[in-house]
A and B are shown apart, each in its own frame.
Chain A
Amino acid sequence: MPQTVLVVEDEPHIVDSLSFLMKKAGFDVFIARDGDAALRMVESCPPDLMLLDIMLPRRDGFDVLKSVRSNPAWRDIRVILLTAKGRDVDRLKGMELGADDFVTKPFSTKEVVRLVRQHLGVEEKTA
């Protein structure tokens, strides 16, 4: 059964591209457009990995991360933060709160796919 990736991002085109990339890499993809929706989805169907944006409407990425890390049942969910270039403080704060990794916008698509595979223990397909 394919592993699942939850994309938490409010910008439709970024959701679109990440969703395409994750599906192409062989994962099942769920999408949440804000922090509240992300937590509801984690509760109903915990993913294997979250691609979590920080600047989200209603509840920001840090809040979502804190909630995920405070529930022992969700301890194994991998979290990769999407941070903005030039915001080093966000990266440091996210890692402090328990994120597993981060990618910086504007990110390289190959880098995102590589990181997700690495954290989910999936070998890269060879042509």
Chain B
Amino acid sequence: MARQIFAGRKIRHLRAQLGLTQVAMAGQLDISAAYLNLVEHNQRPLSRKLQKKLESVLPVKEGELSGGEEARMLSALEELFSDPLFDRNRPGGATLGDFVAVHPEICRAVLKLYRAFRNAREDRLKARESLSADPYFADTSHKLLTQLTSIRSFAEILQDNDDLSDHQRGRFTDVLVDESKKLTLMVGELFDFINGESLESSSLSETPTDEVVDMLSVNDHYFPELEDAAEQLRERIGNPQPYGLFDALVHYLDEQLGISVEIVPVTTQPSLKKGMWELEGEDGGVLRLMETLSVSSLVFRLARVVAEVAYADVLEKTLARGHVSSDEARRLCLKALGSYFAGALMMPYAAFRQAALELRHDIDLLRRRFRVGFEQVCHRLTTLQKPQEEGVPFHFVRVDLAGQISKRFSASGLRIPRYGVLPAQWGVQDAFLKPGRISTHSMRAEDMAIYFSITRTVTKPGTMVGQAGNTFAVSLGCEVSFARHMVYADGLDFTHPDSVLPPVKK
């Protein structure tokens, strides 16, 4: 069933801008003024037919009245204003709705600002926690208090006791001088420690993998140059349907780049240089791919090679916008950008975003429509951040059986740990108990926000006969105000958090 559209506020605002009365505009639309009044007050949904008519009368782009983006923005703003920060000046729902309809650009900026504020607030809390747990800091605090106690005690004794002997007075004064000197030294060390920590956090603590995640994050997970390049390539290869993409890319590689593609039997020895694939020769040559790869993985590899060979300048230019500290970080960032290009080629932005909204993020249906893998769909969904044409802000995380994180992207605001094992509370590892099936999970994160997610296992094929593939659990989630856009959240009542959160274990 199609989603009902309510765009009353926007229509009312645009009509007023044109200086038209309801009666005048109803006349142009060939409907009654009473009906237009109901539509403007969201008492009636907007029919497809009326939407088309309105698009010809009002200064809007095609599809702008669908209200999807407006609804998502309103959800996000309602969540923003539920922050205790706004306890004393929280605008009502109707005010917010009007504001979204009339000033979408300002709403977008406010949301971006709030996301940045929330991240900064969490960083501060984390820094405080890590400092108070640091053994050096704990030991130094104890020493400082001890020295201050000595200094205060003797200062008060000297002040309160006129009858001290010269010997006592001299001894107590010496203590004051000695302890003050020690205190000065210790404060100096403490400053060095704090400066050292900040230096470390700004450079040394970054691993090359962190730099990739940071590069994606700084760019809001969206790279317009790569979207354009992928679009350009699609046109050059004749805008193939998803099931024709493999042949089109093989042809392009051969004809335009002089690279022939070989699908290699799994019995080939020795195995391929990069496990599942290898490219022999820089300029022209042979691209060998293991036969065990799924069609979607084969297409993905082909697309990435095209990106790295034919669009190397675009990848380099995109990378040059940020800062990378090492050759390894640079290599990984270029690889991530190549993968982004491949995803954009296989799932073109506008078509994929529209399908995602229409199919309410049903991952299996999206997989079938675009002939891609589960993980590829999840990953692409995190990149739908084109200004004014955003998708739902998702986070994505992939872990192995031990809970070790091997991929993480977050556009949802959820802070995914940089290191180590994902907490069991996230429910991601539970996917291993039901391989291949989608599970849903809700949790309250450290920032007190509630996140809804789906989790499923994915298995990478082995590279030799009889070798089992590696299985991972992938999780795709969003902040609960967006959960209603996911088919998997149907029936859950997020207005009552206790009904969706797992019970607390005692």
Q: Give chain A's interface residues, CB within 8 Å of chain B.
A: 11, 13-14, 16-18, 20-21, 24, 55, 84-86, 105-110
Contacts and interface: CB of A to CB of B under 8 A. Distances in A.
Contacts of A16: 175
B156 A13 contact: no
A109 B141 contact: no
A107 B152 contact: yes
A20 B157 contact: yes
Contact of B149 (A24, A55, A86, A106): A106
A21 B145 contact: no
A27 to B, nearest CB: 16
B136 to A, nearest CB: 16
B362 interface: no
Contacts of A86: 141
15 contacts: A11-B146, A13-B150, A17-B150, A18-B153, A24-B161, A55-B142, A84-B141, A84-B142, A85-B145, A86-B141, A106-B145, A106-B149, A106-B151, A106-B153, A108-B152
Interface string B150-183: 1111101100110000001000000100010000
B148 interface: yes
B175 A13 contact: yes
Contacts, number: 51
Contacts of A109: 152-153, 156-157, 160
Contact of A17 (B141, B145, B148, B154): B154
B152 A11 contact: no
B152 A106 contact: yes
A18 B160 CA distance: 14
Nearest to B161: A24
Interface residues of B, number: 18
A92 B148 CA distance: 23
B154 A13 contact: yes
B175 A105 contact: no
User: Which of B148, B153, B175 lies at the interface centre, i.e. has the most chain A CB atoms within 10 A of its CB?
Assistant: B153
Nearest to A84: B145
Given A11-B149, A21-B153, A110-B156, 13 more contacts: A11-B146, A14-B146, A16-B175, A18-B153, A20-B157, A55-B142, A86-B141, A105-B145, A106-B149, A107-B153, A109-B152, A109-B153, A109-B157
B149 A107 contact: yes
Nearest to B143: A11
B148 A106 contact: yes
A13 B179 contact: yes
Contact of B153 (A14, A55, A85): A14
A106 B152 CA distance: 7
Nearest to A111: B156
Contacts of B145: 84-85, 105-106
Nearest to A10: B146
Contacts of A13: 150, 153-154, 175, 179
B132 to A, nearest CB: 10
